[in-house]
Structure 1
Amino acid sequence: MIITKTPFRVSFAGGGSDMANFYEKHGGCVLSTSINKYCYLSIHPYFDSHYTLLKYSENELVDDIAKIKHRIFNSVLNEYGVSGVEISSTADVPGGTGLGSSSTFTVGLLNTLSCYQGKFISKGKLAEKACEVEIEKLGSPIGKQDQYAAAYGGLNFIRFNQDGSTSVAPIVMQPGTYKRLEQNLMMFYTGSTRQANSILSEQKKNIDDEAKAKNLIQMCRLAEQMKEALEQNDLSSFGELLNDGWTLKRTLASGISNPEIDRTYELAMQNGALGGKLLGAGGGGFLLFYCEPDKQECVRLALGLRQFDFAFERDGSSVVYIGDKYWG
């Protein structure tokens, strides 16, 4: 058996600039971190080698991998030519919550199958391959940031260049600042999940609108400023820039926010948060806030929502167990 774990991510600024129709014209960038919440995948030969068993939110037992209903499983298993196995997927958070679950799963699956076949795959190639599967082969209306965040791990500034290349640079900051940033972030579950594709499809179309594109260019500038604030150990500015970024993000598509999310956000700001944002495409999932420790209890009581504890992680997608080895 082989087991991998791949982290989910929190994106602070620049989301949307990782879509090709934007970065090919303007270049894009995001500031994000992976967190200690994971998608776990295990693989081993199935008892009957004529069948393939997949366990996720559903169970699929097929005698031909071309019959697999799950789009990502279907694409990747057929490309790798892997059958006669049992693969199980479990996760610390559900999909549709804004933490990059689909891309985390894709990265994890590619890493798992590469290891199963005895092939080394670099973090860069892992992210690149996941983008190819989701964006090019399956036509998902998404960008590239989630795949790189899941593959590399860590607190990074990720740049999407006009020629299609991507660079990942860790944020250099004092250890004390890194720890305080981690402690000053609060995440709350809104109580609802959402399907991101409709919001992302609208956002992708809106990029061609001049005003929307200008806002996205400004969001990239904010990501640069947030990077500089962290490098200068200026966390107050980081929190305020987080608020500026959310204000701009809400203009990119109609479904990003709603009255209940707006009300909750304003309540947090009135009770001491310096800034925040809804994670992911919008419409539901998790709200993130930057708040100094002495104000956190006020925010917690005012919102009355379930707080979701998390910490930063640095490893990215990794193999955590190799038992009796079977090569595909």
Structure 2
Amino acid sequence: MIIVRAPFRVSFAGGGSDIASFYEKNEGCVLSTTIDKYIYLSIHPSFNAGETILRYKKSEVVHDTSEISHDIVRACLKKKNIKNVEIHSDADIPAGTGLGSSSTFTTALLMALDAYNEKETDKEKLAQEACEIEINDLGNPIGKQDQYAASYGNLNFYRFQKDGSVSVEPVKMSPAAKVKMADNLLMFYIGGVHDASQILSEQSQNMQKVNKEKNLIQMCELAEKLKIELEKGNIDGLGQILHENWLLKRTLASGISNPRIDELYEKALKAGALGGKLLGAGGAGFLLFYVSQDSKEKVRRALDLPEIKFSYDIEGTKIIYGENN
């Protein structure tokens, strides 16, 4: 049996600039971190010859992998030419809640399949293959940040070049500054499941509109600014940048925010949050806020929502158990 762990991510600024319709014209950039919430995926030979068995939120048993209904699994098994296996998936966070779950699942599965084939892979190749599967093979209107974040792990600045290549640069902070930043971030679950593909598809189409494109350019500038501020040790600068980024992001597509999200966001600001954002494409999932120590309890009381405590992941997608019989 082989078991792989892949981390979810929290994006701070620049999200949406990793979509081809934008970066092929302007270049894009995102600053994000992976967190200690994971997808766990195991693979081993199927006990019954000729069967491929999947256990995720539903179960599938097929004799021909082309019959698999899970698009990502079907595409990955075809790419790696693997069948007659049993694959199980579990996660710390529900899918469709804005933490990059589909791409996290893809990187975990690709690494597991390579290990099953007794092949090694590096972080760059893993991220590239995950993008190829989701964007090119399956035609999903999504960006590249989630695949790279899950593969590399850690707190990084990603630049999406016009030619489609991606550069990955760790954000250089002192250990004390990183601890303070994590301690001042509060994440709350607001429920629901968003349709990231629908929101991102609309956002991609909106890049033809000058005002939408201009707003996303400003979001990239904020990601650049955030990297500078964090590396200078100005951790509190994250609050204002999160706020400015959210005000711009919510203009990019109609499904990013809604009246309930706007109301919760205003409650948090009035209680003392310095800034925040909805994580992911929008519409549901998690609200993230940067809050100074003396306001944390006020914000918690004002929102009265389930809080998800987290810290950093620094390893990215990795094999945590490997025994290939």
Instruction: Give the TM-score of the pair, scaled to structure 2.
Output: 0.99
Give CA deviations for 1:77-130 in whole Å, capped at 9, x if unaligned. Answer: 012111111000010011110000000000110000001101111100000000
Aligned to 1:210: 210
Find the aligned partners of 1:24 and 1:216 in 2 and give their Cα distance: 13
Question: Alpha-carbon deviation of 1:207?
Answer: 1.1
Find the aligned partners of 1:224 and 1:47 in 2 and give their Cα distance: 51
Give CA deviations for 1:150-183 in whole Å, capped at 9, x if unaligned. Answer: 0000000000011111010100011111100010
Find the aligned partners of 2:197 and 2:23 in 1 and give their Cα distance: 19
Find the aligned partners of 2:241 and 2:48 in 1 and give their Cα distance: 56
Question: Alpha-carbon deviation of 1:208?
Answer: 1.4
Give CA deviations for 1:186-218 in whole Å, capped at 9, x if unaligned. Answer: 000002222211111100100111110000000
Find the aligned partners of 1:241 and 1:261 in 2 and give their Cα distance: 19
Find the aligned partners of 1:201 and 1:21 in 2 and give their Cα distance: 10
Aligned to 1:268: 268
Aligned to 1:10: 10
SS in structure 2 of the partner of residue 190 of structure 1:
strand
Give CA deviations for 1:199-250 in whole Å, capped at 9, x if unaligned. Answer: 1110010011111000000000000011111001101212111100000001
Aligned to 2:223: 223
Find the aligned partners of 1:147 and 1:55 in 2 and give their Cα distance: 22
Instruction: Give the TM-score of the pair, scaled to structure 1.
Output: 0.98
Aligned to 1:194: 194
SS in structure 2 of the partner of residue 307 of structure 1:
coil
Find the aligned partners of 1:131 and 1:186 in 2 and give their Cα distance: 30
Matched, 1:185 2:219: no
Contact 1:49–1:85, Cα closer than 8 Å, also in 2: no
Aligned to 2:303: 303
Matched, 1:80 2:80: yes
Aligned to 1:20: 20
For 1:165, the aligned partner's letter is S
Find the aligned partners of 2:49 and 2:160 in 1 and give their Cα distance: 42
**Structure 2 unaligned spans of 5+:** none
Pairing 1:1-328 to 2, within 5 Å after superposition? 1-323=1-323, 325-326=324-325
Find the aligned partners of 1:198 and 1:166 in 2 and give their Cα distance: 24
Find the aligned partners of 2:96 and 2:26 in 1 and give their Cα distance: 29
Find the aligned partners of 2:304 and 2:282 in 1 and give their Cα distance: 20
For 1:168, the aligned partner's letter is V
Find the aligned partners of 2:241 and 2:167 in 1 and give their Cα distance: 23
For 1:221, the aligned partner's letter is E
Find the aligned partners of 1:295 and 1:132 in 2 and give their Cα distance: 44
Find the aligned partners of 2:220 and 2:191 in 1 and give their Cα distance: 29
Question: Alpha-carbon deviation of 1:49?
Answer: 2.0
Find the aligned partners of 2:156 and 2:191 in 1 and give their Cα distance: 29
SS in structure 1 of the partner of residue 236 of structure 2:
helix
SS in structure 2 of the partner of residue 119 of structure 1:
coil
Find the aligned partners of 1:24 and 1:167 in 2 and give their Cα distance: 14
Find the aligned partners of 1:255 and 1:322 in 2 and give their Cα distance: 42
Give CA deviations for 1:235-284 in whole Å, capped at 9, x if unaligned. Answer: 12121111000000011001100000000000000001000000000001
Find the aligned partners of 2:159 and 2:33 in 1 and give their Cα distance: 14
Find the aligned partners of 1:20 and 1:196 in 2 and give their Cα distance: 16
The percent of aligned pairs where both chains have the same amino acid is: 55
Q: How many residues align?
A: 325
Contact 1:268–1:299, Cα closer than 8 Å, also in 2: yes
Find the aligned partners of 2:59 and 2:236 in 1 and give their Cα distance: 47
